[in-house]
């Protein structure tokens, strides 16, 4: 069964500190992996997308890594800001080969950045 597990479930850090969120997946056949940021009361917004041939991608202070061999990804946030407080969702895309494309969502990590 395709699954995406994220850790930790929640995290509190001080403003200005760095943090790393983890994502492990058992999805096959892998197509791509995305990280989304979801602010409270809003829809998820894409941060990064990586295919199996990419092992790192950055978007400002966000850097995602991917190890397709161990099926792990991480999202590193540098110099956190109060506006980084949100849920971060790891999503793995599967090409079903039957003409459809599926996304498997993790349950997210809720990050709180405090002054």
Partner 1 sequence: DARVTQTPRHKVTEMGQEVTMRCQPILGHNTVFWYRQTMMQGLELLAYFRNRAPLDDSGMPKDRFSAEMPDATLATLKIQPSEPRDSAVYFCASGFDAFRGQGHITNYGYTFGSGTRLTVV
Is 90 near partner 1 (CB under 8 A)? no
Candidate residues 8, 95, 112, 114; the one interacting with partner 1 per rule CB under 8 A: 95
Is 101 near partner 1 (CB under 8 A)? yes
Whether the Cβ atoms of residue 59 and residue 47 lie closer than 8 Å to each other: yes
Is 93 near partner 1 (CB under 8 A)? yes
CB nearer to partner 1: pick between 43 and 115: 43
In the complex, what is the shortest distance from the CB of residue 63 to partner 1, in angstroms, rounded to a whole number? 20
- DSSP letters of 17-79? --EEEEEEEE-SSEEEEEEEEE-TTS--EEEEEEETT--EEEETTEEEEEETTTTEEEEEE-S
State the residue for tokens 């500190």.
17
**In the range 13-72, which residues lie near partner 1 by CB under 8 A?**
31-32, 34, 36, 41-46
Is 1 near partner 1 (CB under 8 A)? no
């Amino acid at each position: 069964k395709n699954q995406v597990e994220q850790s930790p479930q929640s995290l509190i850090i001080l403003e200005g500190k760095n943090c790393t969120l983890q994502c492990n997946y058992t999805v096959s056949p892998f197509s791509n992996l995305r990280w989304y940021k979801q602010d409270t009361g809003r829809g998820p917004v894409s941060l990064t997308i990586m295919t199996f041939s990419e092992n790192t991608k950055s978007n400002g202070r966000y850097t995602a890594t991917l190890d397709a061999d161990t099926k792990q990804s991480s999202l590193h946030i540098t110099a956190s800001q109060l506006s980084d407080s949100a849920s971060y969702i790891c999503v793995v895309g599967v090409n079903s080969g039957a003409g459809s494309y599926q996304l498997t969502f993790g349950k997210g990590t809720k990050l709180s950045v405090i002054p």
